[in-house]
Structure 1
Amino acid sequence: MSDTVKTPCKGPQLEQLLAKAKSLPTAAGCYLMKAKDEEVLYVGKAKNLKARVVTYFNESAKAVKTIHMVEKVRDFDFIMAGNEAEALILEHNLIKKHSPRYNIRLRDDKSYPYVVIALGEPFPTLRYQRRPKRNDPKTLVFGPFPNAGEVSEVLRLMIKCFGLRDCSVKEFSSRREPCLLYQMKQCTAPCRQLIEQKDYQALLESALAFFQGDPQNTIEQLKLRMSDFAQAEAFEHAAFIRDSLPVFEKFIMADKQANAELDGVHRDIDILAYHVGEIEVDISLYLVRNNLLLGSKTFHFPLADCQEEMEMELIRFALQYYAETHDSLPVVIVTDLSASAMKLFQTGVSKICNTAIEVFPPEVAYGELFRLASEHAREGQRIRIVNEDSPFLGLGFLQNLLQLKERPRRLECFDIAIWQGESPTAGIVVFEEGQPFKKDYRFYHLTSRPEGNNDFAFLREAFSKRLEKGHYPDVFVVDGGKGQLSQFIALLDEHKLAVPVIALAKECGGKVGVEERIFIPGRANPLPLLKSRALMKILVAMRDEAHRFSRKLHHHAFHKERLGGWLDDIAGIGPKAKQKIIQKLEMGIADLQKLSALELHDLFDLDHGQAQNLHDRLQKLSR
């Protein structure tokens, strides 16, 4: 755990909470710390509820982070469990349900490719997928595979060699004529019933054998198809299969190259190691599937965020990871824990994943791989700290800069998009722990102003709409300089909100790499972001993401508004013709107005009457 501070229990609120904690049962269970608005701040588990919860409110030493959390606690609930293992599983489910602010939540952004077949489709085909559903009875899943490019190329060639369909379900059901691939002998056109279901199934099974452990069967079937094409003098199609065979054979050979050290009883293994540094904790996860080392995943979080002993924090992380991962599960997890923690982890992970998973210590068979994973965690942390590449360093710098009690976790950035006073929109992007949190992005259509551009009015409107959502960030970020910062502060004061805000802008004429500056309330001069490269990386990425998000949706709204307006109510141009024009439009209205009715007819594939009516409407727009 992080450094602790001894603090006295004081104040009537804490005394009441302490009295309530002393009345808790001594059984195992979970507790939920709540703020004044019933927000769940933290979920924990304990072998002895009374003994554990009392420590939050008595005079015992606590981590600084825990002290800040306790200051916000107004009440707590508890749920009893039969034993510590049940409490561990209950804790995981409660954390997943409430996403408490003070629980460590790690996101897995790395995934491996799989080959999937949707069995529910009338003519199934092979698909490339990154995050397949686990235990879906309607889907066959093969993988994971270490090289995304190779498996993608194998799939592309396999589908064409066997003539399997390559279209989506929607395209398949709506197609009236066979596509071009049928003419090229690279599809059997099941969409038009040009192949019997049983014959298509036979082709699919020949392709599936490649991923089901019998790739030579697939190769032999392809050679037979190549021979049949050659005898039918379809030499181009035979040559396509001939040229594809080396790709398949190379893939087979790579799959056979298992590491001698990993060639043991267990083919699917995860190696879980961690390193506790002075500031952060790094976790390194090595994935072995089918005796092949696929690669590794890394996670890190501040040591100050740890509320429990490190073994329990690691187990809590692992349960979260294995419950949410889309990758295939291991049979064995190798990690270094005490005997009691190992047993607790094995019970919990098997229960949550609904399958038996063993947890082993790093014995001789996996000792070298565990050492490498441990070294990877240690070196990854060292390099990140040396290069100031940790988001926690950047957020810690912002905490000190704004004199906040806690490290800011959630930042929100506003960006207003408008062009020539038309179609104003606002985009809000959210970063949590220095990373984009896209599910909380927001986009607002704003009211056009008679005066055209009015940044403050647009910002006021966007801010008012944002306030309706509640749950404010730790820090607002505004794209702009001192003027935009002053405007935003005025809005916060108007709504009596005490949320910190900063503004991010580039120095006029500044050199590349030293031009980014932040404006801070109460500070006369802006601060060059080179003071903290870690913070600069977060804020610049956030500003650029806000630009990207708001501009993209603004262009869409502007495009829709302009086109939707002047294309409406044109005689002879209904919804289908309108959509055809929009899809083929690659020039502005000014350029369209220069075209004749005949040129519009050719450009948009309209009949002559539609083209003339469109031409007349365009000419009226210029008046």
Structure 2
Amino acid sequence: MDLELQIKTLPSSPGVYQYYDKSGKILYVGKAKNLKKRVSSYFTKNHEYGKTKVLVKKIAAIEHIVVNTEADALLLENNLIKKYQPRYNVMLKDDKTYPWICIKNEQFPRVFLTRNVIKDGSEYYGPYTSVRTARALLDLIKELYHLRSCNYDLSEKNIENKKYKVCLDYHIGNCKGPCENLQTEESYDIDVLAIRNIIKGNFKEAIKSFQELMFRFADEMEFEEAQKIKEKIDLLANYQAKSTVVNPLITNVDVFSIISDESYSYVNFFKIANGAIIQSHTSEIKKKLDESDKDLLELFIVEIRQRFHSQSKEIYVPFQVDLGKNIKVTIPKLGDKKRIVELSLRNAKYFRQERFKQIKIVDPDRHVNRIMAQMKKDLRLKVEPRHIECFDNSNIQGTNPVAACVVFKNGKPSKNDYRHFNIKTVDGPDDFASMEEVVFRRYKRLQEEGEDLPQLIVIDGGKGQLSSALKSLDVLGLRNKIAIIGIAKRLEEIYYPNDSVPLYLDKKSESLKIIQQLRNEAHRFGITHHRNKRSKNALQNELEQISGIGKQTVVSLLKHFKSAKRVALASFEDLEKVIGKTRALKIYNYYNNK
């Protein structure tokens, strides 16, 4: 069927659409509140994102499934993505098999860690994204309760027939010996019930029962036993204190947050029970079609709730998401609820920073590509700034005006390309005229020598210096070929040509950090040159101040020795060869007497 006709006849209902190429291979699965509007937008919009353009060109056929609600569409989209894994959809796949805490379906149930979920009526809690967290919880349980670790079949018949004998665990106090009927099944099950509550994050009942037991021992003057129970209460309270991060009244809630850059999103999930985080998981999602944070978070929420078997009726998120009527969506504005969403976001940010550090080491190309893409977006550029040049003027106390040009390639200093400029056409300290001169000289030379031009020029200064640099680019015909910005020192505001309103980048953004690094490097490089020049001039002036030494003698000496410093260190014989015995003696004595 003709594509145009297919689009025209699509229903205006919620549903899922699937794009296929000419060979019948599925390209993309998407959900929509209104199928007709959503699918039509792919073919009527002018897509800036390159991959979306490529996708649209490949679409040869469209199929759709109508559902009752947008929430149903989200669930169906998630299932179809997992089933078909289309090329242009983000993948929320995770190859890890997470551990579970299992309470075995048997008489005198064992409690242990496993990665294999067997449907035999046993209870499984998790999955835990951190094995360390699961082990810490199990260690706590073993400290509090004496459970068996053997895999004997402790049926009533086997116990009556005295089939088993107590093992070492009984003798060292880790088991109460149910195999020889030294502990009743009823007593054992009470412990298992308490363990079930602790795993769910409900410590209140366990602490209460231990307190009652402690007071009973104390009343019976069994103070050693009471002390042992007190230690267990302290252990539980300490574990709960470490776990509790919000109001204990917040229970059975899922928390989600997301942070994104140009190519990837990082999403965090917390499960909260009785004010404690009992599960935490962060994922990195590679974007395929410049997806919005809302779309990605909705997909992540559905996937994670399925993966971790969450039955929570309420979720906390930083912005509105559409998940249907069965889930209460809360966007906290203040208090403990707000703090837990902020904590989730902080976890996503830390995870992102860790990934950046890892990628910088193991995949430097991806690190550079990400930063370049981010700079292009942040600075509103037409192309990625792979080659950046930054200019800075130095004229301390109005003397020896110089300028510096530093070059960054792929976000890193390219020191071989740094250049110094002595100001030639400007008298006195005039930053604007000096900037105009050095920018003209730099790019006139690059044009003449056929060298590559930068994609971005950064001027250290505000609107005045930027306007001066623009004059030179206009004369050279480069204004529309190279992007140029100015960075003012006071508030780090960034100025653009013909725009009086500056851009303020996030103080923590990598784009601003690179521009600041450029500016600081240009300043350092310029100051070094300025200092060297002043030192050289000071030495030359010192030569002229020696009694009986004129300008012509100084010129002769500098021509021969190349610098005033070498003149000061020269031997009498070497000086005599150039300027004669009398004047050589005056210079030699001047420096040696110092």
TM-score (ref. length: structure 1): 0.46
Larger radius of gyration: 2
Higher relative contact order (CA 8 A, sep 6+): 1
* TM-score, L = length of structure 2: 0.48
